[in-house]
Structures are given as C-alpha cells and as structure tokens.
Amino acid sequence: MALIGNQKFAISRWWLSKAIEIIPSNSDIFSSRNMRDAMKFFIAGSAVIKAINGWLLAAQIIERGSNGLTNFGLSLAKNDPKLYKSSTWWAIHLALAYSDRSEPYNQFFLKLDDLTKDWISLKELTNRIASSIEAAAEQSIESNLDGVRKMFQGDAPLAELGLVEIRRDRNDRETSIRLGSPILSDEIIIHALAKARFAHFKSRESVDFSILIKISGLTHFLCCSKDYLRQQLHRMSQMHQWQAHFSFDNAADLDSITFKELCDPNQTVLMLLQKGQDTWL
C-alpha cells in the first residue's frame, strides 16, 4: 500500500469536479511541465495541485501512466459531473477504501472500533496507523492523515455522509474520533460487497461470512457492526433484485456468501450512481 500523497490537503467537491472536466481533453494537466497551467485552472498553489493529483490516483479516478479518466472516472463524469449526489461520494469513499495507494485512508477506518464505536484520541489513532505502515516515515503518515481527517470536517463532502465523528475536548486541546452511523442503502451495501470481493476474493466463488468480515474491512468501511451487516445481507439475499449478485447461505454454525455474476464493481457502481437514494445526513 502506498501513501496517498495529499500534502495535508483534503479534496474539495469543486477541485474534483474541475479535474473530471479537464482531464479528458488534457490528460497530462498534472505533469511538471503543465504545473503553471494547472495552478491557473484550479486556482491553487503547487502543493495543492500535487494533493489533487494524489487524491485522484488514490480514488482510482485516474491511473499513473495512463491517459484520461478510468472507467470509474468516466462513470462519475457521465452520471454526476458536479458531484452533488451522496451516492457519488459513497462510491468515492469505497474506491479510496479499496485502493492500493490510499494509505492511511483505509487504516483511518480499520483502526477505529466498528462494534462499540468508542472515542479514541487522534494521537492514539495516529500511533495505531503508524505501527501498521512500516514502510512510511512517521512524519509522512501524520501529513497524509491530516489531509484524510479534514475530509470529514466542516464543509468537506464526506463529512455530510456521517462516516466519522470528530470532536474537541472542553479545553480544545485534544481531538477525538470514532466511526459514525451513516445511512446505508442496499445499493451502498452491494457495491461495498463487490469492491471487497474483487479486492480480496476475486478468484473465489464463495467465502465464509466470518472470513469476509475479518479480511475485507467491510464493516469498518460501512461503519456498522458485523451483526447488522449479516442481517442486511440475509434480507437482501431474499430479494429478487439482488439474487443475481449474491446469495447468503445459512448453516448451523457457519454463514457464507456465494458471489454471482453481477457482483462486479463495474456493474454495482453504476447502480449506486444511478439508483442510490439520498443519504446525506
């Protein structure tokens, strides 16, 4: 896993929508030779331009060494180019969570408790993340984590999904964080399941539910408990709408998920973007 390279900056809705607008006609806008043009277009300094590029790579909207937008980027451009929908930001969140170059974004969620959702200090969270990312310097982790944290504060778009709660103590000296309680639609859950499948179980037709939870980080990224997710998947598996995506198989001591043909993130992201309900808090 590679660090996100966000230079302490969060990505704004405007910067991201402008990137989606210009990349199809100027795919090398983030190259060093085009830095001056990029600074004018995004109305930002060079450090911010590097951060925007880092977020785009981490969210799999562009790929290093490739021209133009990825299939995911094209889906965003076609369905919500101004990035106003909550489903769009759920898709971006899950793309970041299952990206191979977005550390410490995924660890930001994995190191928070998904059952009791206890508060922990930002310092303790940073220490937990640093201990799991051996290849990165502590200073780099803190810098990248600062940019990630800002994605869930103020008017940042991910803050409005309720994924994370952040507070300051009475003396305004210490920041504490915990997982939030976002609204989870069926389209969000099925896309998260497809992302988890292709990230960790692509060659398998089925997986034990306990293994799915242990390896994929699914409950952390959805900010829900294991029991809640089990109930939702069991309910969805009985609906005709999702039977071509997966089945939930009950056994005496072991539940398992069988993946079907349509449990493919390229398919489920379109369903999320086009049919996902409004989940802004």
Average pLDDT, the chain: 94
SS3 73: helix
What pTM value is reported for the model? 0.96
Q: What are the residue boundaries of the structural domains of the chain, listed by start?
A: 13-97, 105-179, 186-275
**How many other C-beta atoms are found inside a 10 Å radius of the C-beta of residue 31?**
12
pLDDT of residue 102: 92
The answer to whether residue 48 scores a pLDDT higher than 90 is yes
CATH number of 186-275: 1.10.10
The answer to whether residue 210 scores a pLDDT higher than 80 is yes
Burial annotation 211-239 (CB, 10 A radius, 16+ → b, else e)? ebbeebbbbbbbbbbbeebbebbeebbee
Q: Are strands 246-249 and 256-259 parallel, antiparallel or unpaired?
A: antiparallel
The CA-based angle 17-21-27, given to 5 degrees, is 120
The answer to whether residue 130 scores a pLDDT higher than 80 is yes
pLDDT of residue 166: 96
pLDDT of residue 1: 64
pLDDT (mean) for 157-181: 92
Residues 6+ positions from 53 with CB-CB distance below 8 Å = 5, 30, 62
* Residue range 262-272, pLDDT digits in tens: 999 999 999 99
* CA separation for the pair 130, 132 (Å, rounded): 5
What are the CA-CA distances from residue 38 to residues 17, 18, 56, 66, 69 (Å)? 14, 11, 14, 18, 17
pLDDT of residue 136: 56
pLDDT of residue 22: 97
Which stretch, 122-131, 172-181, 191-200, has highest mean pLDDT?
191-200
pLDDT of residue 100: 92
* CA separation for the pair 50, 30 (Å, rounded): 8
pLDDT (mean) for 187-194: 98
For residue 157, cis peptide bond before it (omega within 30 degrees of 0): no
Residue of 132, 67, 55 whose CA lies nearest to 93: 55
* CA separation for the pair 216, 103 (Å, rounded): 15
Burial zone of 156 (CB within 10 Å; 0-12 exposed, 13-18 middle, 19+ buried): middle
Residue 28 · residue 41 · CB < 8 Å:
no
Given pLDDT bands bounded at 50, 70 and 90, which one contains residue 46? very high
Name the DSSP class of 259. E
